[in-house]
Amino acid sequence: MGAHFGYLFAAYSIIFIVIFLYVMLIWRRQAALDAELRTLEARMAALTEHSAAGRPSEPRSGA
Amino acid sequence: MSAPVVEIRNLEKTYGLAFVLREVQLRLLAGAGAFIIGGNGAGKSTLLRILAGLEAPSGGHALVFGQDTRRLAARYRRRIGLMAHQSFLYPNLTARENLEFYAELYSLADPRECAHQWLGRVGLAEVADTRVRAFSRGMEQRLSAARAMLAEPALLLLDEPFASLDHDGAEIVAALIRGAVERGACVLATTHGIPEIDGVELAVFEISRGRLMQHAHKEEGRRGGRIRSLLGR
Amino acid sequence: MSGFAAVLRKDLRLELRSGESTLALLALSMLVLVVLVFALGAARVRSVDAAAGALWVAMVFAGMLGANRALLAERDNGAIRGLLLSPLDPSTLYAAKLCAAFIFMAVAEVGAVILMVLFFNLDFDASMARLAPILVLGAIGFSALATLLSAITGRTRGGDMLLPILVVPIFVPALIAGVKASAAALSGAPFESMGDWLKIMIAFDVLFVTAGYLLFEHVVGGD
Amino acid sequence: MNNPTIRNWLGFSTLALMLVSLFMVFDYVPPDAEMGIAQLIFYFHVPLAWVAFASFGLVAIAGIFYLWLGDQLWDDLGYAAAETGMVFCTLVIVTGSIWAKPIWGTWWTWDSRLTMTFILWLMYGGYLMLRASADDTPQVARFGAVIGIVAAMDVPIVIVSVRMWRTIHPAVLVTKQGTHGLEDPRMVWTLLVSLTAFTLLWAWFLMLRFTQLRTRSRMAWLAGRIALATAVASDPK
């Protein structure tokens, strides 16, 4: 291998490290989102217990 | 019959998990005077801001002159006068300059004369050339009322018009409201307590838990003319 | 049209009354030039390239300050809402604000040019006349951009910090062209040699004045 | 678009193709005769640049549609595109810099293409800072749309001006004689495979982020519904 293999290796490592980190970031945001969703679900469950009439309809897309 | 000036259908406003307004229905015709009462944070100001097109509702419709308030064209905007918590006045301009500026914005025929007249009407003729920066809150409030009514709007939205006004000031503003109703404008105002304005039949609504409800009018409250606004003062 | 004149007249009157912005702009321009003279060292002081660069640095910083201050006047007492409620067209409001910003910047620039000549040991000669159109084009472009973007940053938290972060990268092409053309003008090069740079600046100005005019209603709208 | 199966398949095929292109770069393609082994960075550098610029283009398109139609969907798309674009743009600059060191002997030069990429990076960095410092209201969505449009409009002028300013970037793809610098067909194949791999990666990232932002927007809507329903349920009858 040539003299510049270190540069090549560094470049490709960095690409994959950054991609990996971004995937991790997306993952963590998904966890936060899921937690938020569970809070909402709990609120909704409490609501349906309280009165069946007060149940909100499903969200439509683009709302 | 003419179309209603204000028509609100099923209006909703929420911020995150908190609701401010819900199931709000309201129809006001030209020449109607209505007051909305309710505690702090009840949503009174929000309702006025939505009607002025400064805020978008979360659901339902708010129509002014039959137009959705989210996209009000200039010719409808010019027929709305809003007197909000903030006075919209420039502190470094004098009272006269402020009114002349707004008169020009509304392309009134004679801005100088118009400003002059309104300064007289709100009792600020003597301080016409003082900068608003030096005004007391009450004086600023009077000037703010003049600013809102300058272009003789067909719909007058007043947010706490009597706040921080002394007795004379409150009477001046009450007279202006009466004048507006008499010339056929529709007036919608908010206040803390049940207001009385001599010679004007007022509808009173209350916002409670986000809903707007017609308030049972207290007949015994109508005594002795003048104004008895602002319960709890 | 009367709305345009009313807003512009109001802004100029407010400025004449306090003189705050223009003074602040001039002071900042002077400070930037002084800092650059020290930073560049005595060896570089007589170079026209350094002078042109310093002038534009001063202009960018002063312009940023001016844009922030122009909006401040409208934020007091929520006056901007009063303007938006009035029949005034948002595009007209943009045009008036752009004109006001341009005038303040032009005044500050005249001061900055005089200081540049003094600090960088240049002469008041014909090159100043060649510099004028370049600075005018630069000020138009910067005002157009800063007026649009300050309406955005003025309504967000920490907006004063955000304004330079948003404005400077977008302003880069006009900045490159402006510095190059100014250096050429100061070194006495013929007018034709600046032609391409001036074309870039004209393109920038046309694009961003149009963009601001069309997009302003979206950044000042309600909610 | 939001189907999890599609998303997962996209993720797997991206991974597979990335491994294939990695293999091609390190074992299959011959290095450039002049620039040596460091030139192999090219096979990931160019696809990264392509997806970064495509993202920024998408930000502007989504911005136009958002201002036109006012549907939150377009804002979510624009935000997702700006973020993925920023990730790739950072990588373009980093890999370019690593490539530049052995070839030009310096980490950074103010070459026209480097400068332009850096300016883009700054612009969309500003966009993301604005989004991060503000709540997700329709107002901020409009701000994002306006900045996305203005930044994209600026790109042609930036290109012209920095090109006039200076340029030393190697014209690997298209030289002045009109022939491309990739003599060996294996080079072309490697580039095509890695281009496809990165396009898929881009689509995958975009889809993941877009789906998350859609969920968040819908949850905000749902929160409002729940607030109202809670109010109704607790009303004294």
Tens of pLDDT, residue by residue over C144-203, are: 999 999 988 888 877 778 899 999 999 999 999 999 899 888 887 777 778 888 999 999
- D234 in contact with A, Cβ within 8 Å: yes
Which of B90, B93, B158 to mutate: most C Cβ within 10 Å?
B90
Place of tokens 């001016």: C66
Of D101 and D79, the one with more pLDDT: D79
Q: Look at residue C196 in the predicted model and tell me its pLDDT.
A: 86
Whole-angstrom distance, CA of residue C191 vs CA of residue C198: 10
Q: Which backbone phi and psi does D235 adopt, to 5 degrees? A: -70, 135
So where are chain D's domains?
Answer: 39-220
The three-class DSSP label of residue B119 is helix
Place of tokens 């679900």: A41
Does residue C115 contact residue C74 with C-beta atoms inside 8 Å?
Answer: no
Q: Model confidence over D69-90: pLDDT tens digits?
A: 989 999 999 999 999 999 999 9
Q: Model confidence over A31-43: pLDDT tens digits?
A: 999 999 999 888 8
Whole-angstrom distance, CA of residue B118 vs CA of residue B125: 9
Q: Look at residue D2 in the predicted model and tell me its pLDDT.
A: 59
Contacting chains of D (3 CB pairs or more, <8 Å) are A, B, C
Burial class (CB in 10 A: 0-12, 13-18, 19+), D112: buried
pTM over 0.90: no
At residue D54 the predicted structure's pLDDT band, cuts being 50, 70 and 90, is very high
**Does the structure show a pLDDT above 70 at D3?**
yes
Question: Does D225 sit within 8 Å of A56, measured CB to CB?
Answer: yes
The three-class DSSP label of residue B80 is strand
Contacts of B59 (CB under 8 A, 6+ apart): B10, B11, B12, D224
Whole-angstrom distance, CA of residue A5 vs CA of residue D56: 32
| Prediction ipTM score | 0.85
So where are chain C's domains?
Answer: 2-220
Whole-angstrom distance, CA of residue B102 vs CA of residue B106: 6
- D38 in contact with A, Cβ within 8 Å: yes
Whole-angstrom distance, CA of residue D181 vs CA of residue D187: 10
Contacts of D211 (CB under 8 A, 6+ apart): D2, D7
Radius of gyration over every alpha carbon of chain A, rounded to an integer in angstroms? 23
- A1 in contact with D, Cβ within 8 Å: yes
Contacts of D124 (CB under 8 A, 6+ apart): D56, D59, D82, D85, D86, D89, D151
**Does the structure show a pLDDT above 70 at D226?**
yes
The three-class DSSP label of residue B180 is helix
Does residue C186 contact residue C48 with C-beta atoms inside 8 Å?
Answer: yes
Question: Does D225 sit within 8 Å of A55, measured CB to CB?
Answer: no
B8 alpha carbon, distance to own chain's centre: 17
Q: Which of B217, C77, C145, A7 is nearest to D123 (CA)?
A: C145
- A5 in contact with D, Cβ within 8 Å: yes
Q: Where are the beta strands (DSSP E) in chain B?
A: 6-15, 18-28, 33-37, 59-64, 67-68, 80-83, 155-159, 186-191, 202-208, 211-214
Q: Look at residue D175 in the predicted model and tell me its pLDDT.
A: 40
In chain A, the residue whose alpha carbon lies closest to the alpha carbon of D222 is A59
- In the DSSP assignment, the letter for residue B156 is E
Q: Which of C7, A53, C106 is nearest to B107 (CA)?
A: C7
**For range D162-166, the mean pLDDT:** 79
At residue D221 the predicted structure's pLDDT band, cuts being 50, 70 and 90, is confident
Of D64 and D33, the one with more pLDDT: D64
**Does the structure show a pLDDT above 60 at A60?**
no
**Does the structure show a pLDDT above 80 at C95?**
yes
Q: Model confidence over D111-151: pLDDT tens digits?
A: 788 888 999 999 999 999 999 888 888 889 999 999 999 99
Interaxial angle between packed helices D72-104 and D138-165, expressed in degrees from 0 to 180 and rounded to the nearest 10: 30
Interaxial angle between packed helices C126-153 and C48-75, expressed in degrees from 0 to 180 and rounded to the nearest 10: 40
Contacts of B169 (CB under 8 A, 6+ apart): B123, B138, B141, B142
- A10 in contact with D, Cβ within 8 Å: yes
Q: Which backbone phi and psi does D124 adopt, to 5 degrees? A: -80, -20
At residue C127 the predicted structure's pLDDT band, cuts being 50, 70 and 90, is confident
Average pLDDT, rounded, for chain C: 87
The three-class DSSP label of residue B35 is strand
